[in-house]
Amino acid sequence: MDWKDFFKEEESKEYYIKLMKSINKAYDTTIVFPPKEKIFNAFDLTSMSNLKVVLLGQDPYHAVGQAQGLAFSTPSDVKNPPSMRNILKEINSDLQRTSFCEGGDLNPWAKDGVLLINAILTVEEAKPKSHHKLGWEIFTDNLIKFISANSKDIVFILWGASAIKKEKIIDANKHHILKGVHPSPLSSYRGFFGCKHFSKTNDILKKLGKSEVKW
């Protein structure tokens, strides 16, 4: 099984057809991020055969030049947003070294087997969660169910209340779930710092005989 099997399944469903109509109209009439050709960037960079970790975000960054179709990631020439800065701080504290992705571009993680996927894949400029309830949540729920059913020993990292809700659609007998506070400045001091999810993920991968992620 690979991503094209998943997309083939979804593309014929009524919600997906409606979602794509809404998204195409939005790109034609408003400013939407990420660039249209990067909406499914996460799937282009992380193959299902190489998948080790699923890191779930909420929706894309909504300022010009930030979103690139990977949860939490920004191009390296763009200033790191607050959530990304907190992720880098936690890596530093957890692993006792700086991240290999200090510039905020997480393409190396994606190529290393980390699916960086948001629950909502598009957003209007300066309007966070503006594409909530268009159908993306159904898409990502179905994606998580597909991964859960067709893979084994994937580490799911769930940060924040909306991500943690997805726990119920993951088969915990087959997979590994790490959950905690979102890295946003609004919540990070309530338990994101000190969660050690980066070392914990690598410990799990090591025990499974898989290569560790170069965080």
Burial 51-79 (b: 16+ CB within 10 A, else e): bbbbbbbbbbbbeeebbbbbbbbbeeebe
- Please say if 59 is a catalytic residue: yes
Whether the CB-CB separation of 51 and 117 falls below 8 Å is answered with: no
Active-site residue among 59, 94, 105, 112? 59
- Alpha carbons within 13 angstroms on the beta-carbon side of residue 178 total 23
Backbone phi and psi for residue 125, each to the nearest 5 degrees, phi listed first? -55, 130
Rounded Cα distance, 90 and 201, in Å: 13
Amino acid code (one letter) for 118: N
Rounded Cα distance, 130 and 153, in Å: 34
**60: which DSSP letter?**
-
Angstrom CA distances, 183 to 81, 144, 189, 214, stand at: 11, 21, 8, 19
Catalytic positions, written as ranges: 59
